Structure 1
């Protein structure tokens, strides 16, 4: 079992397979993607070696992230590879939804069990302003298809000043749509410090409002993500809150991250990443990668330092998938 010096156990791996993204979200890549060539990203054998090692150390859930993971043509193969790895019970994908309607059936057949889709607004013009794409209708159609296929579907939306009028439309949508809508506080990154200061809004006020209106907490599973989730008897969907600036946010951390270039990130907002790639090669004994992981995880810090204005080496969220 992967366990750090504080006794936190890690059942959940977030594996980035590319840092390329085709959206230009104002809070992440407002000028579009400007990065490394495609051949720098993990190969299929390297991904398999990584999945095998983490699963042998107790990982039960793998989330494939980017950038935008659907930009890799071999994504169905990667999903199938994760789903067929002994010990992995859940295979999740985070996507901007651009390719969702045409591909979600294929992904589900490959073994996808959970889907997270980024939708920051249900207003078509506002969606376009945020992402640089007029694709809201297609993304919503993809979400509807995913739900019909029985995929556990969540929608991610940034909680930020300037979008305060969005809650009523999202609540109307959740009345009849069985997804979990997760509001995520804007997080400071190296490239977006001004945006953070202008738009950050604490989720505590929304949490209090939900509790005052009859929403009730959901018990958190051990391989669940960081969201506090709430349900209401009058709604088909749920609401989640991700509040990284709350004082106890890191206490229940259960996840590790591997970048698309093979670096282990013990926290989203700390070091440059710890190189694993030499141990990912097919001619290396898989136990060597396991031993390196066990040793490195002992250096995981008790908490990030976001509350001190320190976002570590994270320049933008596309480089590791949030």
Structure 2
């Protein structure tokens, strides 16, 4: 079966698969009022996830990131990991988490087949962490990161959203942390969503500013690996950890796009922004539907735009990043 490719020649071998919209944190840039169920959500069942993974694996997907909301809130999260790991065409299984369950379950998830993990830590100051997340769980999350390192994960990444007026003074503290700790620290530039225009205007901080500081301090750019995401990675001979910058407002950000998204309700999203998504769930009920599902995937890729329209202030239908897995 031919690999997914759009009309601009981009190939897609990376799927971000959301398994829930629910999150127990109240991050100011994502869910400042906390998760509010609408009473209608019914997230993909394990059997539907298995059929989804099987179809994507037939069209070249080699990396799957299990996302949310907070994916570890699903009681069958370990079973989901196993279901993905059972497909031998999937070479890399990752997840993104707020880390609150990591301390207790890191080894269990590793044994199930999870190999890469991203933990959201927007500040190394416990008070600022609480101010951003709405939860007083900094120490718990940090112990979880230690547990992940001990469990043997091949890559542990820390995600921090850049926020002017909140964590914009934290760079020295982060750099000190990764001097002796072998983790990848990723700064993510704040993106405007439908519910966050005022917040964006007040707190957006350009990733290019951080990049300039790193270069001045002797950090060097690392050439990306084939399955890397959109981050520009930097390393320093005096630091065990690396730094990645995700800068969606930088020119040509979309040129290297290699990922697709499926929401927790089974909708395919060709981009984090701009469109409503295409329902796949009707074709996730039986293995016999796989050929039709693959055909639908190929048909949708032909309609993918060359770029997002964030530079024009167009945020599309995405109301908050938790709704389709960030």
> How many Å apart are 1:237 and its aligned residue?
0.6
Matched residues, number:
322
Q: Deviations over 1:34-72 (max 9, x none)?
A: 124486100011100100000110001000000000100
Structure 1's consecutive aligned runs of 4 or more residues displaced over 2 angstroms after TM superposition are 35-39
The correspondence for 2:87, drawn from 73, 85, 88, is 85
Q: Which runs of 5+ in 1 are unaligned?
A: none
The correspondence for 1:277, drawn from 272, 275, 281, is 281
Equivalent positions of 1:222-237 (< 5 A) are: 222-237=226-241
The 8 Å contact of residues 164 and 205 in structure 2, kept in 1 or not, is answered as yes
Residue 183 of structure 1: aligned partner:
187
Distance 1:11 1:115, change over 3 A: same
The 8 Å contact of residues 11 and 222 in structure 1, kept in 2 or not, is answered as no
Q: Helix, strand or coil: the match of 1:295?
A: helix
Residue 302 of structure 2: aligned partner:
298
Equivalent positions of 1:6-155 (< 5 A) are: 6-37=8-39, 40-151=42-153, 152-155=155-158
The 8 Å contact of residues 42 and 262 in structure 1, kept in 2 or not, is answered as yes
> How many Å apart are 1:84 and its aligned residue?
1.4
Cα distance in structure 2, aligned partners of 1:10 and 1:221:
14
Cα distance in structure 2, aligned partners of 1:263 and 1:108:
28
The 8 Å contact of residues 25 and 130 in structure 1, kept in 2 or not, is answered as yes
Cα distance in structure 2, aligned partners of 1:42 and 1:297:
22
The 8 Å contact of residues 230 and 239 in structure 1, kept in 2 or not, is answered as yes
The 8 Å contact of residues 214 and 232 in structure 1, kept in 2 or not, is answered as yes
Q: Which runs of 5+ in 2 are unaligned?
A: none
Distance 1:39 1:270, change over 3 A: closer
The 8 Å contact of residues 41 and 265 in structure 2, kept in 1 or not, is answered as no
Residue 249 of structure 2: aligned partner:
245
Q: TM-score, normalised by structure 2?
A: 0.97
The answer to whether residue 164 in structure 2 is matched with residue 161 in structure 1 is yes
The 8 Å contact of residues 51 and 287 in structure 2, kept in 1 or not, is answered as no
> How many Å apart are 1:194 and its aligned residue?
0.6
> How many Å apart are 1:86 and its aligned residue?
2.4
> How many Å apart are 1:10 and its aligned residue?
0.3
Coordinate RMSD, CA, aligned: 1.1
> How many Å apart are 1:145 and its aligned residue?
1.3
> How many Å apart are 1:5 and its aligned residue?
0.7
Q: TM-score, normalised by structure 1?
A: 0.98
Q: Deviations over 1:77-133 (max 9, x none)?
A: 000111111210000000001111011111001000100000000111111111111
> How many Å apart are 1:209 and its aligned residue?
1.6
The correspondence for 2:222, drawn from 218, 222, 239, is 218
Q: Helix, strand or coil: the match of 2:87?
A: coil
